[in-house]
A and B are shown apart, each in its own frame.
Chain A
Amino acid sequence: MSKTELVPGTLILLVLRVLQAGPLHGYAIAQRISQLSSDVLRVEEGSLYPALQKMLMKGWVQSEWELSDTKRRVRSYRLTAAGRKQLAAELAGYDHVNRAIQSVLKLA
């Protein structure tokens, strides 16, 4: 199955959700989304970094520099309290829309 572009607007939701399990760096975030979706969803780097910058700006994530196994400086992102709140809100919103779409699909 070919890799699919993300539905617009869901990237931030996915990143927040992935980070809930613990801090990750940029590449790992992309990898994780890809793995969890069994390679269906692919995160473009072109959208990932602007999205991360936006989340930093909004205060949903914090970043810190740490050393990787290969002794390289890596920036990893960690969810903040505000980020958790945002995640809950986005999840609720997503559910809501999803249910609406489902009911249309079933009943039409």
Chain B
Amino acid sequence: MREVLRRIAYLWNHRRLEREMAEEMAYHRELLSPERRTEFGSDLRLREDAREVWGWAWLDRLRQDLAYGARVLRNSPGFTLTAVLVLASGIGVPLTVFRAALSDLQGGPLPDPDTLVHLRRRAPGVFITTLPYPELAFYAANTKCFRSVIGVTERNQATFGETAAGVAPEQIQIAFATSNYFPEFGIVPAYGRLLTPNDERRDSELVALIGELFWQQRLGGDPAVIGQSIRVNGKLVRVVGVMPRTAKARSELWMPLVRQPFVIDGSTLFTDWNSALDVYARLRPGVSVKASQQETLALAASLHQLQPDRVRPGEYLEAHPVLQFETNSPEFQIVLVTISLVLLLLVAACANLGTLVLARGVTREREIRTRMALGAGRARVIRQLFTESLMLAALCGLCGLVLSSGILKWIQLEHNPASTLLPDWRTIVVTFGVSLLAALVFGLPPALRLTSLVPRAGRARSIFLAAQVAVSCLLLVVSGVLVGGLKQLGRTEPGFDYRHLLWVSPGLKAHGYGDAAAKAYLDALRARTAAWPDVQAVSQVSLGPWGNAHMGSAWMGRQFAGNRVDSQFIETMRMHLVRGRNFLPGEEGVALITEAAARVLWRDEDALGKSLPWDVQGNSQSGTHGPTVVGVVANASTTIIGNPEPLEYYLPQSRSDALNSVLLLRVSGNPHEFIRRLQDSARALDGRLQPAVPVILDAYDGEMKNTSRALAGVAILGSVAILLSAIGLAGLAGYTVAQRTREIGLRIALGARGAQVVRAILAPMSHAIVIGFVCGAVGGAAVAKILRSGIPAMAGINVFDPLAYLAAMAFLAAVVALSILAPGRRAIRINPSEALQHE
């Protein structure tokens, strides 16, 4: 310890100490006899040896290396610029993707994520992802395993602002949440405060949070809004804070769950066993997920005694940690693939730079040999070369950081001008960590090779070259396949005419309607709208097409999507009945299925007259005799967009379905012009309602936009990779030509033709390029396959689309050819007589 302190003191006082040593040695020299004085040796050398003992020699050497490295980088600006361009984009683009993804997930880090679980109802053969309010209240009151039980419901239709006569009320969506939602999810208010247990008291003032996006876009981001009252569904509500924008929280307003009936007239939330809340819970410390499931099994059994119709025997709450990915889920695979694609770019950049460093190193061979001949050890030279690479990598990391901040700023401009995008310390650490890693990859192999005593040892160059070609090829193939898929998506007719459809969802259940009242209401609304001359057909259905809500059944590992529709459905949708007949009004126990479903269920047999292997609830157990198939319709993908093999079935509406149903309308002309008329009509029958009127064309446009955005992302990755490859290959070819000028001159002097010269340059690269091509194509196919299984809209794409492969290969080949064009020309034009003198 003392010694360490002394060393530090020496570093601190090194100037004085060196002066003293010089003085001491000078004295020594004076005392020596004249003939011995010359033997004393160099003062400088002596002092250096003595200084070595202080233990700070490495610092001197580092300073030396840094100065030397800086000089080398400054003296070859072309190389430095190329390297920075390559690696900065290799680091910057993936960094941007990750930062964008993270900022989307942000809204405060999730505290202690392992003990935060999502609760789902499980019973033999039953799987329900939501809980009704009475169950939430029951578990919250009786459980011992959970410290808190959290309930949330988003997407509740409401109106905002003053409803002046003649103006359609502005549609917003409200989320209702228990007040413990905010602290348990680590949400920090963007402004003002969050909801507290105090706000849940029934005698307290009605308060709400506004979503950050709504606040900025609709209310101008004005802090003065906080504390003011706004009108929601005609009720005055005081705004107390701003809910930060996160990927999950998209609602415009947030209010306490227990105050829901105050905002939604006639709500029977508290007694409604069909209400659907997302329920989360915080496990008490030390309680396992298993233990909590044991407890809820016992609690549900006692609840079953009280509510035998509502709670099934053997029911329990499955607790699933919120941050735990289901590793075999398609979403997780998509995430994984995206991460890999993005990281591949970094790999490509490193390989690329490695090639360049290696190629450039060949021209520095003389310098390195000289240094080693003068007594520099191999380790010393490697250290010096690696310091150079490190400096380069750090510079690139810095540029990558700036680049990604710039891109993020640019992307974010459109919706949030105020957001600050300064990288936090984690981003900085990751960036420079990655840079260090990159330096190891692209800097160490060339340093080892250049200092190797066996010349031309190692296959570093081939590996680098193959890697970058493979990555470029892979990204190209994937974008090619996606382009093909998107084109197909645009071409695929969904099996019904979606251009003139819209539906009205009056939200009867939320307003406390019963079955009979709901049926009466829908019948009245239907009679009104059907009378309009520009409405061609009206149908009552449980789920609006492409409406993000699903029901259905799983059979033999395949998902079948279901819907409950009336006999007008086929006409309204303009679907085609291929075989059999439509429902008769009031008929039950029958079903229509798509051709694809018929093929999966019964292969080539006739589906008509067969029973579905699941009941009307969607439960399939062995021996189940479900509804009888009376008709087969041409394939129509009504639940998701662009599925060319839709496994769908349609059951007739029953009496109790009206409460949860919507009216689907086929109109002539622009469907958007019907929104207000439908809202007004729906409210004319019951002024308390806040009807939602989605237009189906919008869902289609949204999906196309999403898909093209994904495509654009992959295309950007692909083009950056291509650009990197082009730069790398051009650089490599250029160095090859420079290095072999004499040889090429000799060849030309001996009568070689242009083609032969170019072939001679290409020869050492061709193997690696071919290997890269093959690996890239195979990898691209694998990635496309995962994408296909993960993105429903991509289900129809052809992974082995020959056009995509050929196009990718041809494009890459063209890039390779172009990138060696300039160096090749230079080689052909070499003047033999000059070249032979060239050194």
The reply to whether B6 and A49 contact each other, CB–CB distance below 8 Å, is no
The reply to whether A58 and B27 contact each other, CB–CB distance below 8 Å, is no
Q: How far is the CB of A47 from chain B (nearest CB, A)?
A: 8
A62-107: which residues lie under 8 A (CB-CB) from chain B? 65, 72-75
A50/B28 contact (C-beta < 8 A), A45-B41, A59-B2, A59-B6 known? no
Interface residues on A, range: 20 to 34
Chain A residue numbers with a CB within 8 Å of B41 are 45-46
> B47-55, B99-107, B326-334: which lies at the A interface?
B47-55
The reply to whether A27 and B20 contact each other, CB–CB distance below 8 Å, is no
Q: How far is the CB of A33 from chain B (nearest CB, A)?
A: 14
A72/B53 contact (C-beta < 8 A), A49-B46, A57-B6, A57-B10 known? no
Q: How far is the CB of A54 from chain B (nearest CB, A)?
A: 5
The reply on A26 being an interface residue by CB < 8 A is yes
**Bound-complex Cα distance A49 to B45 (A):** 11
Interface residues on B, range: 20 to 34
Chain A residue numbers with a CB within 8 Å of B54 are 53, 57
A49/B49 contact (C-beta < 8 A), A27-B31, A57-B10 known? yes
Chain B residue numbers with a CB within 8 Å of A50 are 49-50, 52-53
Name the residue of chain A whose CB is nearest to the CB of B6.
A57
Q: How far is the CB of A82 from chain B (nearest CB, A)?
A: 9
Chain A residue numbers with a CB within 8 Å of B2 are 59
Is chain B's interface secondary structure helix, strand, loop, or mixed overall?
Answer: helix
Name the residue of chain B whose CB is nearest to the CB of A45.
B40
Q: How far is the CB of A34 from chain B (nearest CB, A)?
A: 11
The reply to whether A27 and B27 contact each other, CB–CB distance below 8 Å, is yes
Chain B residue numbers with a CB within 8 Å of A74 are 24, 27
The reply on B424 being an interface residue by CB < 8 A is no
Name the residue of chain A whose CB is nearest to the CB of B32.
A27
The reply to whether A45 and B24 contact each other, CB–CB distance below 8 Å, is no
B3, B20, B50, B54: residue with the most chain A Cβ atoms closer than 10 Å: B50
Q: How far is the CB of B836 from chain A (nearest CB, A)?
A: 50
The reply on B25 being an interface residue by CB < 8 A is yes
Q: How far is the CB of B569 from chain A (nearest CB, A)?
A: 92
**Bound-complex Cα distance A26 to B24 (A):** 8
The reply to whether A45 and B10 contact each other, CB–CB distance below 8 Å, is no
The reply on B534 being an interface residue by CB < 8 A is no
Q: How far is the CB of B318 from chain A (nearest CB, A)?
A: 66
The reply to whether A58 and B24 contact each other, CB–CB distance below 8 Å, is no
Chain A residue numbers with a CB within 8 Å of B49 are 46, 49-50
The reply to whether A58 and B23 contact each other, CB–CB distance below 8 Å, is no
Chain B residue numbers with a CB within 8 Å of A30 are 28
Top 9 A-B residue pairs of the complex, sorted by shortest distance between their CB atoms: A53-B53, A53-B50, A54-B53, A49-B50, A27-B28, A27-B31, A50-B49, A50-B50, A75-B24
A-B contact pairs, 27 of them (CB 8 A): A26-B27, A26-B28, A27-B31, A45-B25, A45-B28, A45-B46, A46-B46, A49-B25, A49-B47, A50-B49, A50-B50, A53-B21, A53-B51, A53-B53, A54-B53, A56-B6, A57-B3, A57-B7, A57-B10, A57-B53, A57-B54, A58-B3, A59-B3, A65-B20, A73-B23, A73-B27, A74-B27
Supply 5 further A-B pairs (C-beta < 8 A) apart from A54-B53, A56-B6. Answer: A26-B25, A26-B27, A45-B25, A57-B10, A57-B53
